[in-house]
Structure 1
Amino acid sequence: MTLPVPTMQAPPVAVVGLGQLGGSLAAALVAAGRTVTGWDTDPAARDAAAARGVSIGRELSGVVVLATPIPALASALEGLAVADDATITDLGSVKAPVLAELGARFGGRFVGGHPMCGTERSGHAATDPELFRGARWAVCLEPGTELPRWLRVAEVALAVGAVVVPVTAAEHDAAVAAISHVPHLLAAALAAAAADAGPLALGLAAGSFASGTRVIGSDPAFVTAMVEGNAAPTAAALAAVRAQLDRPWPALVEAGHAVLTRPVERRTLRVPLDRAALLALGRAGGTVDRRLAAFVEASLPA
């Protein structure tokens, strides 16, 4: 059933945590003309955000974005005044544990999110207002999610140049285990194995080694929290990689090459504001690109 979604003025956005992701989001939203309040326990992060036009304050309303590390999400709002009608979302790289914690606390007001972007850098000095442009942003649509709130979160993502992938928390965690969490573990293993190979190997390391190990330059505490927070899907995805490595090498190389060189043609369509239709779009590799009244404009692999 398609639910009626009222038209409303874009609400203000409050960002809690002004490191790379949160600081970049706040700066991008200011550039897009949205009203943005920010907060961080670090005075330097607050000062840096204020210099980019973000209002600093403890009173949060509209769409409240939690951009803290996953272990800090549960306590991120302590000492802050959150409006009773605020929509709560997050930027965490694991969704099921966050849904269990914040969904129980906020009910249908909570909408999980995860922008698929970022670098191995961290902190407010890594802020980049263009960080989200062209990125895919997973926005969770659970059975209890209030669709108007889902749209408010989706519109925040669209406002900073991202495209939206409708997904459930469980589907998100299985997918990112394969394309994000296992790659972090593989990068760590590759770097450690190269170190064991000795100084000559590290001295000869060039582009392919740098590309294969880049992400493990991230904060180890962040990577550990991410993979341990998504342990079962990550273990399953890692087992699938091990199975691939057992294939004859020519077949493995050919299969991997085919994936990365496949045609990337897409077609545009309109999708109704309906939970089942939106999730079907995400499962098919589609993205929401624009809001159109009672529909969204989307794109799908051709």
Structure 2
Amino acid sequence: MMPVPPVSVVGLGQLGGSLAAALVAAGRPVTGWDVDPAARDAAAARGVRIGRELDGVVVLAVPLPALATALDDLDVAPDATVTDLGSVKTPVLAELGARYGSRYVGGHPMCGTERSGHEATDPALFTGARWAVCLEAGTELARWLRVAEVALQVGAEVVPVTAADHDDAVAAISHVPHLLAAALAAAAAEAGPLALNLAAGSFAGGTRVIGSDPEFVTAMVEGNAGPTAAALDRVLAQLSRPWHELVAAGHAAVTGGVGRRPVRVPVDRQALLALGRAGGAVTYRLAAFVEGWVPESG
């Protein structure tokens, strides 16, 4: 087996800083870079080597609008694998795939909070999280595995997906919730100060994510406009149902008992994608196989 490559993280805010810190804690060599000197200093204090020379697995942890230019002024090894943590994958694949070819493997960890910046760094952020790692027709399996191994090393579970499948899925469970949170907050504000003063747990839970940076949220939903609009149409259709039916259907969707069945699948594109589409995840890498699980109704 080839030696484990180092990891280089560009962007040391909440996601990038947390990833770098978690990898350092796991004993992985990590180089980091950020345009913000304060973010570089914070990462260095956690044991990250700061530098502009990047190799191994290069992780782009910068906002979506900056992904295309994040490496322009940095020295990237010609054989490095390039991945990202962006919340939209199809447009990023089109841009970075054209630039880096099969060296690019898209990724998206499903974690994070409404906080941002290096002050929000948490080395445990990825523990137990799902991390989508894109497997396209032209993806090199060896590079896909290198990215998957980074996710596994920080405690995440890897979900093999295509960029298109990823974007359809996250529109329903991430992008539309941000829009709904914004609508709830704006509607409550219109109801007046009494309503806002009485707001408690359900309102806080329903509006939490819209506390994120508005520019970040706007870039996310506009970058995935087609799937997000389709997912929003499904929500609007649900809201037109009789309320008792809607409440019962929603309750059943979140309380239905689902177990996990362990599986072992070969390191093969179709087998890995079938695992992801079944709602499963990879938890461990073997030589020619991966171990993981798929959901099983109780």
The TM-score with structure 1 as length reference comes to 0.98
Q: How far apart in 2 are the matches of 1:74 and 1:236?
A: 27
- Tell me, which stretches of 5 or more residues in structure 1 are unaligned? 1-6
Aligned to 2:231: 237
Aligned to 1:4: none
SS at match of 2:83: strand
Aligned to 2:122: 128
Confirm whether residue 284 of structure 1 aligns to residue 278 of structure 2.
yes
Within a 5 Å distance, the mapping from 1:1-302 to structure 2 comes to 7-302=1-296
| Structure 1 counterpart of 2:92, one-letter code | V
Q: How far apart in 2 are the matches of 1:176 and 1:197?
A: 30
SS at match of 2:19: helix
| Structure 1 counterpart of 2:63, one-letter code | P
SS at match of 1:119: coil
Q: How far apart in 1 are the matches of 2:164 and 2:47?
A: 37
| Structure 1 counterpart of 2:70, one-letter code | A
CA displacement 1:112-169 (0-9 Å, x = unmatched)? 0000000000000000000000000000000010000000000000000000000000
Q: How far apart in 2 are the matches of 1:261 and 1:194?
A: 28
Q: How far apart in 2 are the matches of 1:78 and 1:112?
A: 18
TM-superposed CA distance for 1:8, in Å, is 1.3
CA displacement 1:178-207 (0-9 Å, x = unmatched)? 000000000000000000000000000000
Give % identity: 81
TM-superposed CA distance for 1:264, in Å, is 2.5
Q: How far apart in 2 are the matches of 1:10 and 1:200?
A: 58
CA displacement 1:82-133 (0-9 Å, x = unmatched)? 0000000000000000000000000100000000000000000000000000
Q: How far apart in 1 are the matches of 2:220 and 2:61?
A: 14
Q: How far apart in 1 are the matches of 2:263 and 2:110?
A: 23
SS at match of 2:258: coil
Q: How far apart in 2 are the matches of 1:32 and 1:285?
A: 28
Aligned CA-pair RMSD = 0.4
CA displacement 1:229-260 (0-9 Å, x = unmatched)? 00000000000000000001101100110011
Q: How far apart in 1 are the matches of 2:146 and 2:3?
A: 10
| Structure 2 counterpart of 1:139, one-letter code | V
Aligned residues: 296
Q: How far apart in 1 are the matches of 2:63 and 2:40?
A: 17
SS at match of 1:265: strand
Aligned to 1:3: none
| Structure 2 counterpart of 1:151, one-letter code | L
Q: How far apart in 2 are the matches of 1:297 and 1:145?
A: 20
Q: How far apart in 1 are the matches of 2:137 and 2:289?
A: 20
Q: How far apart in 2 are the matches of 1:230 and 1:269?
A: 32
- Structure 1 stretches of 4+ with a deviation exceeding 2 A read none
TM-superposed CA distance for 1:298, in Å, is 1.0
| Structure 2 counterpart of 1:44, one-letter code | A
Q: How far apart in 2 are the matches of 1:270 and 1:149?
A: 20
TM-superposed CA distance for 1:78, in Å, is 1.5
The TM-score with structure 2 as length reference comes to 0.99
Q: How far apart in 1 are the matches of 2:54 and 2:226?
A: 35
Q: How far apart in 2 are the matches of 1:191 and 1:9?
A: 50
